[in-house]
Structure 1
Amino acid sequence: MSLAPARDIAPEPALISAWRHAPGFSFFRALEGSATVLCLYLFSTALIGPVFADPADPESSAILRLIWLPVYALTLALCALRPGAVLGTLANNVLLLGLVSLTAVSVIWSIDPDTTLRRSFALIMSTLFGFWMASRWSWREMILLIASAFGLIAVSSAVMAIAVPSIGIDHAVHAGAWKGVFWEKNTLGGMMALGAVSAYAALRADPDRRWIWIGMALLCTALVLLSTSKTALLSWTLGTGGAVGIMACRQGFGFATLVLFLGLTGGIMLGMILLIAPVEFLEMLGRDATLTGRTDIWAILIEEVWRRPWTGYGYRAFWTVENGPVYWVRAGTSWPVPTAHNGLLEIALALGIPGVVLMVTVYLRSLIRAAGTIFSQRPETYWVLAQFAIMGLASISESNLMNQNSLSWILFTAGAAKLAQGSR
């Protein structure tokens, strides 16, 4: 029996052979990680804000708006490399996706459609970057990248305050307070409170480099103190206390019971103090009984919300029309109020009561999922639970929810989306 002669096989082109036998994509992976850290740094508005924008009206800067275009293009490119994973993440977060999409729909009823269209697009791109982070990185990788970004912010802020004190230190209203690479001291303090929390999580996720993360936690803590921001100090205390509580809970049932008992007791005592001596407590924190006039603003804004309870005035449009409803707010308070100084009230002005309900639902569901990981020995609990708690605390007196190009919102989106993956 004869066999047919084998055909000659043409040699594989050198370029294809090199591609086929290449040692993986570690270089491209490093590029993605570097891009993630750089984008997080930019979203924090560190350095670029004080240099290119007016602190009184940062969104009026044309240069600052142009800076975001390459970031949006990079976001789309990164998503295009992993379309299946990103689409799967979007499918797991229908409520959050619907909430963000509602900002674009609000163009229909917005009192300033151009502003709503532009800013809702920026919010969608910011949220998409958070979704990409959740789809691209594992919990450990994401924590280390976030901690690296905050470490870069902390180091650059310390260098700015020491080397260029005219920019890094306040010389006006809060003379001597450090503000680093930000517009004001409160922003530096708030960022560094989150930075300390990310360092705690990185310490658990990467114990081999413990001294790097311990040093970062100490630097962030020092910057919180140097900023003299009492709200930031309260956030740092919440994050640090939360980390200690999580660690104690994971030591066993006895420790968990003790921590829960002390937490419940502390909550009851705080409630009693607020009922019996609220003025003295606020003064101890450096606030007056009206939270520096915020309650007066809220009373007037609630009336404006009830004028359009189901739609609001359009995403980020309420404050842009000088002769619109904002006129009566500023006339009633006798000063140019820039924001609602409350996260949920700001959403109500933009999207009405439906937007508030969606936001509260997304937040509480994510918070419950994060709390469900306390006993799991997973490092992400130290970051995601504390970050959600700090975000909720800050929203009481600041309009920090659903802001476009906001690091806080991106971190919330990434954390919520990652938790949703685990729930499935």
Structure 2
Amino acid sequence: MKHILTVAGLLAFSIPYACQGLSPRVITIALLILLFSYIMLLPSLKTMIATLADNPLLTLLMMYIAASCLWAEQEQTSSMLMVLKFLAFSTFGLYFVTHYTAQGCIRLLVITLSILSVLNLLAVVLVPSFAIHAGVEHTGLWKGISGHKNTLGTLSLLSFVSHVISFFKGKHKALHIGFILLNALLLIKCQSTTSLVLTSSLFAFILFILLFKRIRSVASRGFFISTSGLLVLLGLVFAFTFGDAIASEFGKTTTLTGRTEIWQGIAGAIQSHYWFGHGYGSYWAARPSIYAGGIRFDLTSSHSGFRDLWIDVGLAGLLATIAIVTITLLKFRIGKADMYTWLTAMVFFLFIVLNNITDSRFLNSLSIYWIIFMVIVIKVQEQHRLAVTEKTNSAALSTSPLH
């Protein structure tokens, strides 16, 4: 039953109609999940406190985000409700990470993403008027139950790469092929350029790691790394040289579908609250009109998770997040033991980092992205601490006198 309720919570945080906005429905769901998480955490308060203490920068960031309601510009009740939602999915994340191993967390995340893929397809087939974009923008493109083609793209991306890794693990290959094909269909039909580019990049990264782990010779590994690095460098040079031509072939521009213009338009909002931001969720809650290059943009995000962090909690919050990302990447180890779990975690984390450069998939979006971020940061720190302890114990044993 615990597993079923956990997946239900993850699903709720992955569906816009259950976790976005401040409607009575969303607040009720947040309160129910907060109550569930609190009840589940009560018997293991010491473990939760130890986890928070072991991740001081993440803990301080969460406290700082919650405290930002004190200087938020929007109406106080709305600001408190935003913080309530943040506490709900952060507490659920703490429950999730303290009650399951790294392998268990990844397994339940993959199950959740797989269910979402099926639900998105069913929505398109059964309720096309609801699940397919209509009107002026994105007409005919799939959005499923995810509310927008780009959101469908990111969730399908995560499901796709997780099933690719599971396929190489060697169990239930037919099942994984089915989900790979399903998510490929969803990615193609939603036509999210960012998701397609990231899917290709992360797929190449998966192949690189799996091939690298199979190479035993040090010289061969060196040759493989240098060759791969050269290919990446040539690819970047090609992209920068022919970027305009490539973009125009796909009906795109190098402004990233207007993103660079939006980023110019929000520069004033960042500068006016440079250090501490407008308060979590406050700026975009007012649905401001952004003017850039003579164009008006009515938005709910800047299409950049890192810029949204800057707007919400200022440079202080942004730098803390960048520090957490950097430390986590430096501590990441994809060892032989449970390699596929840690490879999935690495791919998920890279997605969070890369996607938030040109899209907002952190706090100003579905809560599942923040939960994935929390889980991986905490589990990597846990893995690092165990590795340091084992190394210290091994060193102590090797220097102890024989009796």
TM over 0.5: yes
Give % identity.
21
- 8 Å contact kept, 2:33–2:92: no
Q: Does 1:349 align with 2:314?
A: no
Task: Compute the displacement of 1:405 (Å).
Answer: 5.3
Query: Partner letter of residue 335 of structure 1?
Result: F
Which residue is 1:144 aligned to?
107
Which residue is 1:20 aligned to?
none
Other structure's SS at 1:362 match: helix
Mapped partners of 1:375, 1:259: distance in 2: 19
Q: Does 1:380 align with 2:334?
A: no
Other structure's SS at 1:154 match: helix
Q: Does 1:102 align with 2:75?
A: no
Question: Which segments of 5 or more consecutive residues in structure 1 lack a partner in the other structure?
Answer: 1-30
Distance 1:251 1:289, change over 3 A: same
Report the structure number with the largest CA radius of gyration.
1
Distance 1:340 1:175, change over 3 A: closer
Which residue is 1:111 aligned to?
73
The within-5 A match list for 1:282-297 is 282-284=247-249, 286-297=251-262
Which residue is 2:151 aligned to?
187
Mapped partners of 2:198, 2:263: distance in 1: 23
Distance 1:78 1:210, change over 3 A: farther
With 173-182 and 88-97 compared, the bigger mean Cα shift is at 173-182
Query: Partner letter of residue 241 of structure 2?
Result: I
With 329-338 and 231-240 compared, the bigger mean Cα shift is at 329-338
- 8 Å contact kept, 1:126–1:406: yes
- 1:268 aligned residue (207, 214, 233): 233
Distance 1:297 1:170, change over 3 A: closer
Question: TM-score, normalising length from structure 2?
Answer: 0.86
The within-5 A match list for 1:183-332 is 183-203=147-167, 207-253=170-216, 256-284=221-249, 286-321=251-286, 326=288
Distance 1:379 1:328, change over 3 A: closer
- 1:78 aligned residue (22, 29, 40): 40
Mapped partners of 1:110, 1:79: distance in 2: 30
- 8 Å contact kept, 1:144–1:202: no
Distance 1:181 1:239, change over 3 A: same
Task: Compute the displacement of 1:336 (Å).
Answer: 1.7
- 8 Å contact kept, 1:101–1:124: no
Aligned residues: 381
Mapped partners of 1:240, 1:87: distance in 2: 37
Other structure's SS at 2:214 match: coil
With 254-263 and 139-148 compared, the bigger mean Cα shift is at 254-263
Task: Compute the displacement of 1:310 (Å).
Answer: 1.5
Question: Which segments of 5 or more consecutive residues in structure 2 lack a partner in the other structure?
Answer: 386-403
Q: Deviations over 1:215-264 (max 9, x none)?
A: 22232222212222222211221222222111111102456435423432
Mapped partners of 2:34, 2:143: distance in 1: 28
Question: TM-score, normalising length from structure 1?
Answer: 0.82
Other structure's SS at 1:334 match: strand
Mapped partners of 2:229, 2:5: distance in 1: 42
Task: Compute the displacement of 1:418 (Å).
Answer: 0.8
Q: Root-mean-square deviation (CA), in Å?
A: 2.5
Mapped partners of 1:258, 1:364: distance in 2: 27
Mapped partners of 1:243, 1:367: distance in 2: 16
Other structure's SS at 1:319 match: helix
Which residue is 1:11 aligned to?
none
Distance 1:170 1:333, change over 3 A: closer
Which residue is 1:26 aligned to?
none
Query: Partner letter of residue 76 of structure 1?
Result: Y
